[in-house]
Amino acid sequence: TGSAYGKDRVFLSSEDADVRQAAIERIKGHILTASDYPHAVVIIGLIKGKVSDCESRESYFANLIPALRECAEEAGKYQVYLGLEVINRYESDVINTVKEGLEFGSPWLQLHLDTYHMNIEESDIKKSIQSAKGKICHVHVADNDRWFVGHGHYDFAETLGALKEIGYTGAVSVESFGFPDMISS
């Protein structure tokens, strides 16, 4: 869903009702596609928009919350999770920490965590993961430099241990800029 915001400029918090509806319809289309696959997740990342796209923080949330609610209702019909991505402050000006992400949610709207973003924003990654027990539907892993696991200095043992401790059984997928080869590894 990232290109919806970056390329197509449709997002769930838009003050323009047509743009907002286009984003909702885009998410509904992804939900329908995902419904053919068990355990599918539709990521709600930058398609949520930014506060800076709106006149005020209040306006942002006044638009975002009903749009998320509509998308979550649709997701529930198809039993597809929506993963609200917690994104670092350099890429998004809202919902930057697990604590902020936990302010949202429904049975079908849960958190999508990403180690790259968590490394920037979370003061205690293990405690952040523990606080989200039962509310995480997807996890991306990349090292602190956004390269493959093991390229930098991120503590994956702590993160994977915390996920195991809280009983997380969903996917842990790699989202990195580079992959190991004979030169970069």
Catalytic residues: 85, 175
CB hemisphere CA count around 46 (13 angstroms): 16
Q: Is-contact 159 125, C-beta < 8 A?
A: yes
CB hemisphere CA count around 18 (13 angstroms): 1
Give the span between the Cα atoms of 1 and 8, in whole angstroms: 10
Give the span between the Cα atoms of 67 and 90, in whole angstroms: 24
User: What end-to-end distance do the CA atoms of the chain give, in Å?
Assistant: 30
List, edge to edge, every strand of the sheet that includes 109-114. 41-44, 81-85, 109-114, 136-141, 172-174
Q: Is-contact 74 28, C-beta < 8 A?
A: yes
Give the span between the Cα atoms of 173 and 155, in whole angstroms: 16
